[in-house]
Structure 1
Amino acid sequence: MDTATTLLSQARARYTQRQLAEQLNVSQRTVARWENGETPCPTMLAPALKELLGIRTAAANQDFTFIDLFAGIGGIRKGFEAHGGRCVLTSEWNSYAQKTYLANFPDDQEDVHTFVGDIQPFPASEIPDHDVLLGGFPCQPFSIAGVSKKNSLGRLHGFEDATQGTLFFDVARIINEKRPAAFMLENVKNLRSHDKGRTFAVIMETLQEELGYEIHFKVIDGIGFTPQHRERIIIVGFREPTDFSWDDLELPPVGPKLHTILHRTDGSEPLLEWDGDRYFDHDNREVQPKFTLTPKLWAYLQAYAAKHKAAGNGFGYGLVHPSGTTRTLSARYYKDGSEILVSQEGNRPRRLTPRECARLMGYEDTFRIPVSDTQAYKQFGNSVVTPVMREVARIMAPHVHQILGASKADQSMSA
């Protein structure tokens, strides 16, 4: 029995089906179907169920502070808050991402912590002290798609890109100044192979030799948590030696299928106050027609795919059925949606809606989307799979507390 189903069973001992439905923003019928085994309880609901049950890990009861660099819409933050982290500084330069971030973390508008736009000119000395540095530093200079685009434009990439590639060094200067107990950096899988491995070698040398941190890295695929093949490299560093091991990760061997994140046409789709009928027509129980490809676009994508197939290339659209899983959602999804097209019987395929993209990245339905569809697609395409971040935070937290505890003991002995 998976974690979400187990938690649902425990929650039913305390709550009625109606109470659970209200708390989880679903219909009572949906809860009944989960209970009866007609459909699996979505993995993404595990955190909400744990909150209802009052379950917190031992590490979560010992708060630590963190800063959220290149924060996007807060996906990494959500993972570390779930295990006791408290954000003391956020940095995000994009105004649309800021709008989404602040809509979902409203406390940040009340001087509870520091909110910074561009981190590059911000003095490291003015950054609040923190225990953990988090950063999904911009990946375009290192990704396959990003490198191809820059090459076609005749632009430099990697550390030679003055506007993006060097942002890693802003991470380094902050670590050097503030010496946090730990850090977690996230990037595209291709970071390891960029520039024949030289880019990654410079990163490792900076973190290990120059800054003196114990480093662990691993490529993790989020497909065990959401129905999306999405590999990202996670680099974890600790100020002091630890027995940290990636073997402690608990990655589900079998993940959910696409139907678990799609809008439900059986009457059980929740009517969210902040969405209304923007993505889903609740009266007619159907996804809004604007998300179905036009005849012209569908014909173009088919012709484009046929052309490349004839040339022996693998380029083309990704048609997926509700019982399957998807390719990686990208920031370019707003253009034509070609990498993930949902099959519709008797009709042309459609794009995922922004709400479905949110679910595909592991965001609960309580996550608000205050921006246009175009901006939402870009934001979720650039985001992290939030359950992966929760799992990384879970195995990091005990080692963070160990280092912090040792530091406090040393300070007491010195006093």
Structure 2
Amino acid sequence: MTLAAPLDLLRQARARFTQREIAAHVGKDIKTVRRWEKGETPCPAMLEPALRDLLPQRARPNNGAGGDAQFRFIDLFAGIGGIRMGFEAHGGACVFTSEWNDFSTRTYRENYPGGGGEHALIGDIVSFPAEDVPSHDVLLGGFPCQPFSIAGVSKKNALGRPHGFECTTQGTLFFDVARIIAAKRPAAFLLENVKNLLSHDKGRTFDVILQTLRDELGYEVHYRVVDGQHFTPQHRERIIIVGFRGKTTFCWDDLHLPEQGPRLGSILHCTDGSEPLLPWDHDRFFDHAAQRVQPKYTLTPNLWTYLQNYAAKHRAAGNGFGFGMAYPDSVTRTLSARYHKDGSEILVYQGEALRPRRLTPRECARLMGFPDTFRIPVSDTQAYRQFGNSVVMPVMREVARIMLPHVQTLLGEETRHGSKQALSLYA
């Protein structure tokens, strides 16, 4: 299963819709759509989900049951649905969602019909019975990293006592992923975390995770650190762990990772008159009459002075701490959940005559690979936290692309040889 290029999707959409209808749907000017179609400017990759929305063959959930979707998945520790969006792009149907943060849940419900009543959206997964989770083919989860009790495992080893993942991981959120996998036995899973998970507690934490997934749960497991800058202008390394219920020929080398990714200028608000007036944003982030980013995103004199003095202090001490100035041809530092505090990791250069500014929340959405159709119903502070905690969506979409042929093979084998329980180590 391959994903069509944005221009191919545009051409497919044009078979059924006018340029004006497409422009209204993706939140762009009709002249911009015309330039894409003529090849005068490239059709941005970030618009693929919005264009795919227009195509009749896009699979959609049906009352939470998966409908005619090619596969069913659940979305744990969902945040604002970045992993979900990547898998929906390949025809998946979300049948269950868990997210504990009320602000993230608000954004999620605003953007995903399934999160608004078509299927269960529960809060904290910790107290939710695994047997009540709907059957699914793929489990998705960007679980938070918590300390594992290595000492307890070592003690049991020394005493010669057996132990399983419940003993090893009880009290961590990874345990909730493991207990659902054990109970529901999905064909595959994808877990995402910070790169430092590999080195946490001198690597012992990651060893417990692999031991649990491979030895205790019996899955074939593959992992790799992928940098989001292949798809968006942001250096953002995250570890991705995928697993399959049976033997596969899965290979990370099948990822299509462009050597030259986009640069910051591709996601910044346009001041040349081409910035779209999104009906869900209006002038919240960009003043269309004045053709400029709203002044509130420019740093105050006091904050700019503080950041310069802070950087100078650490330079004098031989440290590398300081702000990160970003230019149109830059790849930025990693956007963090604390970006709302001072914006120091990514400051947009506005020329010598002006102080730098923060990215707007809309630009943060673009930096994470979300299309302009993605709505931001929360305050700027909450939006910065949400995008800083999210995933680079096109990375998830690309990983989904190389996972799904193997998922389909496993599901085909299940159909030929009997029920999922027959393949389960826990049957």
Question: Shorter chain as normaliser: what TM range?
Answer: 0.7 to 0.9
Matches within 5 A, 1:130-145: 130-139=136-145
What TM-score results when the alignment is normalised by the length of structure 1?
0.88
Give, in angstroms, the shift of residue 10 of structure 1: 6.5
Structure 2 counterpart of 1:204: 210
Structure 1 counterpart of 2:44: 42
Structure 1 counterpart of 2:280: 274
CA–CA separation in structure 2 for the residues paired with 1:298 and 1:315: 15
Deviations 1:317-338 (A, max 9, x none): 0101112111110000000000
Q: Bigger shift: 129-138 or 99-108?
A: 99-108
Give, in angstroms, the shift of residue 203 of structure 1: 0.5
Secondary structure, in 3 states, of the residue corresponding to 1:349? coil
Inter-CA distance 315–273: structure 2 relative to 1 (3 Å threshold) = same
Inter-CA distance 298–33: structure 2 relative to 1 (3 Å threshold) = farther
| Unaligned residue ranges in structure 1 (runs of 5+) | 143-158
**Is 1:382 paired with 2:389?**
yes
Give, in angstroms, the shift of residue 19 of structure 1: 4.3
Counterpart AA for 1:47: P
Give, in angstroms, the shift of residue 50 of structure 1: 4.3
Inter-CA distance 322–38: structure 2 relative to 1 (3 Å threshold) = farther
CA–CA separation in structure 1 for the residues paired with 2:372 and 2:319: 38
Structure 2 counterpart of 1:312: 318
Give, in angstroms, the shift of residue 82 of structure 1: 1.1
Structure 2 counterpart of 1:223: 229
**Is 1:291 paired with 2:297?**
yes
Secondary structure, in 3 states, of the residue corresponding to 1:190? helix
Asked if 2 retains the 8 angstrom alpha-carbon contact of 1:138 and 1:165, the reply is no
Give, in angstroms, the shift of residue 54 of structure 1: 5.5
Give, in angstroms, the shift of residue 30 of structure 1: 2.5
Inter-CA distance 62–92: structure 2 relative to 1 (3 Å threshold) = closer
**Is 1:400 paired with 2:407?**
yes
Secondary structure, in 3 states, of the residue corresponding to 2:418? helix
CA–CA separation in structure 2 for the residues paired with 1:342 and 1:13: 40
CA RMSD of aligned residues (A): 2.7
**Is 1:92 paired with 2:92?**
no
Secondary structure, in 3 states, of the residue corresponding to 2:75? strand
Counterpart AA for 2:415: K
Inter-CA distance 75–174: structure 2 relative to 1 (3 Å threshold) = same
Counterpart AA for 1:371: V
Structure 1 counterpart of 2:86: 79
| Unaligned residue ranges in structure 2 (runs of 5+) | 60-66, 149-164, 423-427
Asked if 2 retains the 8 angstrom alpha-carbon contact of 1:301 and 1:316, the reply is yes
**Is 1:213 paired with 2:219?**
yes
Structure 1 counterpart of 2:73: 66
**Is 1:262 paired with 2:268?**
yes
Inter-CA distance 109–13: structure 2 relative to 1 (3 Å threshold) = closer
CA–CA separation in structure 1 for the residues paired with 2:348 and 2:196: 27
**Is 1:107 paired with 2:118?**
no
Q: Decide which of 179, 187, 191 is 1:181's aligned counterpart.
A: 187
CA–CA separation in structure 1 for the residues paired with 2:171 and 2:335: 22
Give, in angstroms, the shift of residue 238 of structure 1: 0.4
Counterpart AA for 1:194: H
Give, in angstroms, the shift of residue 53 of structure 1: 5.6
Q: Kindly, what percent of the aligned residue pairs are identical?
A: 69
Inter-CA distance 5–64: structure 2 relative to 1 (3 Å threshold) = closer
Deviations 1:186-209 (A, max 9, x none): 001111011111110010001001
CA–CA separation in structure 2 for the residues paired with 1:141 and 1:266: 50
Counterpart AA for 1:42: P
Inter-CA distance 196–233: structure 2 relative to 1 (3 Å threshold) = same
Inter-CA distance 19–102: structure 2 relative to 1 (3 Å threshold) = closer
Asked if 2 retains the 8 angstrom alpha-carbon contact of 1:138 and 1:164, the reply is no
Give, in angstroms, the shift of residue 12 of structure 1: 6.2
Give, in angstroms, the shift of residue 130 of structure 1: 1.1
Deviations 1:360-405 (A, max 9, x none): 1111111111111000000000000111111111111111111111
Secondary structure, in 3 states, of the residue corresponding to 1:183? strand
Asked if 2 retains the 8 angstrom alpha-carbon contact of 1:229 and 1:326, the reply is yes
Asked if 2 retains the 8 angstrom alpha-carbon contact of 1:43 and 1:256, the reply is no
Asked if 1 retains the 8 angstrom alpha-carbon contact of 2:95 and 2:114, the reply is no
